[in-house]
């Protein structure tokens, strides 16, 4: 049924479980800040229901959704239009319901990763030398795609499970060099960008322990983990004189393109945004 009254735009985040997600706090902050009549809600959807739910939401006024664990890969089989970068990464995190009824899927994690480094390490020049990336999971794929896009000359990767790192080389090409996990510290030699994309160092997980003796004090060091904000890895890198950037900014920046498409305003990522998310 059509209506003459404008609908209040709805968006949300679909995951399973979803209670831990900070996205509702973040989008809620932006909606209030810009006085936008809209809502963003957490949606706990089991994998078996994902397709049905996604086809139903637009009929209820949803203009799009974020997609998180465990649906980020499966969504590519459901969406009608998939951006090249989402296809290359093999996962999507942002859906837009188009007026023609088709579901558009994109991956904004890589853009969020780059925007976080540019904002918090303004002198960072990724073209100046190699990047060292620890881990080869879904987040690493987005990080590697983004590093290639901004012109990093060489990307060194090590992962506990070697075949996942090898897959990154075959998918992303000759700029990617794979190292053994036990020799991962060697990747630091001359690296100007250093990123932990593993889940290590997160509250409740073992620490990320890699000897940092080879770390160049000029390097920009980033941890994708944001609970805690200052991981042991970042604290050690800071002690060695490096510029360190925590993972929260990536979470904030990856959300901005979706908010803009759904609610019509590019949101700012600043201290107030961080505080709103941390306070929740
Ligand atoms: P994922 O696909 O499950 O990959 C997990 C990665 O961590 C793999 O490389 C895995 O190695 C490694 N790992 C896990 N436990 C390990 C252990 N005990 N020893 C060595 N390596 C271990 O997860 P993901 O989506 O890539 O996420 C990875 C991390 O990034 C998580 O902490 C997540 O919260 C964070 N993240 C942050 C943002 C942000 O916005 N800041 C965005 C996305 C993800 P194996 O392949 O050997 O298992």
Quick one: which atom of ligand 1 is closest to the CA of 248?
41
- Check if 66 has its Cβ closer than 6 Å to any atom of ligand 1: no
| pTM for the predicted model, two decimal places | 0.96
| Catalytic residue check, 37 | no
> Domain 10-107+251-278: which topology?
Rossmann fold (3.40.50)
Residue pair 30/259 in contact (Cβ under 8 Å)? The answer is yes
Instruction: Map out the domains of the chain as residue ranges.
Output: 10-107+251-278, 110-246
In Å, how far are 44, 45, 151, 193, 195 from 118, measured between CA atoms? 33, 35, 14, 12, 14
Ligand 1 centroid to Cα of residue 35, in Å, is 36
Same-fold call for 10-107+251-278 versus 110-246: yes
What are phi and psi for residue 83, nearest 5 degrees? -65, 160
- Check if 224 has its Cβ closer than 6 Å to any atom of ligand 1: yes
Measured between alpha carbons, how far is 226 from 51 in angstroms, rounded to an integer? 30
Pick from 11, 66, 7: nearest CA to 263: 11
For the residues 29-36, what does the mean pLDDT come to?
Answer: 98
Pick from 144, 140, 148, 210: nearest CA to 182: 210
Measured between alpha carbons, how far is 170 from 10 in angstroms, rounded to an integer? 39
- Check if 160 has its Cβ closer than 6 Å to any atom of ligand 1: yes
Ligand 1 centroid to Cα of residue 188, in Å, is 19
pLDDT single digits (tens) 94-131: 999 999 989 999 999 999 999 999 999 999 999 999 99
pLDDT at 1 > cutoff 90: no
For the residues 135-155, what does the mean pLDDT come to?
Answer: 97
> What pLDDT is attached to residue 7?
87
Ligand 1 centroid to Cα of residue 204, in Å, is 13
Report the alpha-carbon angle 144-150-151, nearest 5.
90
Residue pair 8/37 in contact (Cβ under 8 Å)? The answer is yes
Q: Copy the structure tokens of residue 13.
A: 């985040």
Quick one: which atom of ligand 1 is closest to the CA of 69?
25
> What pLDDT is attached to residue 4?
63
- Arch. (CATH architecture) of 110-246: 3-Layer(aba) Sandwich (3.40)
Measured between alpha carbons, how far is 104 from 81 in angstroms, rounded to an integer? 5
Active-site annotation holder among 37, 72, 99, 175: 72
Ligand 1 centroid to Cα of residue 7, in Å, is 39
pLDDT at 272 > cutoff 70: yes
pLDDT single digits (tens) 49-91: 999 999 999 999 999 999 999 999 999 999 999 999 999 999 9
């Amino acid at each position: 049924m059509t209506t003459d009254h404008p609908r209040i735009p709805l968006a949300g985040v679909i995951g399973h479980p979803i209670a831990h997600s900070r996205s509702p706090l973040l989008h809620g902050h932006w909606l209030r800040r810009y006085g936008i009549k809209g809502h963003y809600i957490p949606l706990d959807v089991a994998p078996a229901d994902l397709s049905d739910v996604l086809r139903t939401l637009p009929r209820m006024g949803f203009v799009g959704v974020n997609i998180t664990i465990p649906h980020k890969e499966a969504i590519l089989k459901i969406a009608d239009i998939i951006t090249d970068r989402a296809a290359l990464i093999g996962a999507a995190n942002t859906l837009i319901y188009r007026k023609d009824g088709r579901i558009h899927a994109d991956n904004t994690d890589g853009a969020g990763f780059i925007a976080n480094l540019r904002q918090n390490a303004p002198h960072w020049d990724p073209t100046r030398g190699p990047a060292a990336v620890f881990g080869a999971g879904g987040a690493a794929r987005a990080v590697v795609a983004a590093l290639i896009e901004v012109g990093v000359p060489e990307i060194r990767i090590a992962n506990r499970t070697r075949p996942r790192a090898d897959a990154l080389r075959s998918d992303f090409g000759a700029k990617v060099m794979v190292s053994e996990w036990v020799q991962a510290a060697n990747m630091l030699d001359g690296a100007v960008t250093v990123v932990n994309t593993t889940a290590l160092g997160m509250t409740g997980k073992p620490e990320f322990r890699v000897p940092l003796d080879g770390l160049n004090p000029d390097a920009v060091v980033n941890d994708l983990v944001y609970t805690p904000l200052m991981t042991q890895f970042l604290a050690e890198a800071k002690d060695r004189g490096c510029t360190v950037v925590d993972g929260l900014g990536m979470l904030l920046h990856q959300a901005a393109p979706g908010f803009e498409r759904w609610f019509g305003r590019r949101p700012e990522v600043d201290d107030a945004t961080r505080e709103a998310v941390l306070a929740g």
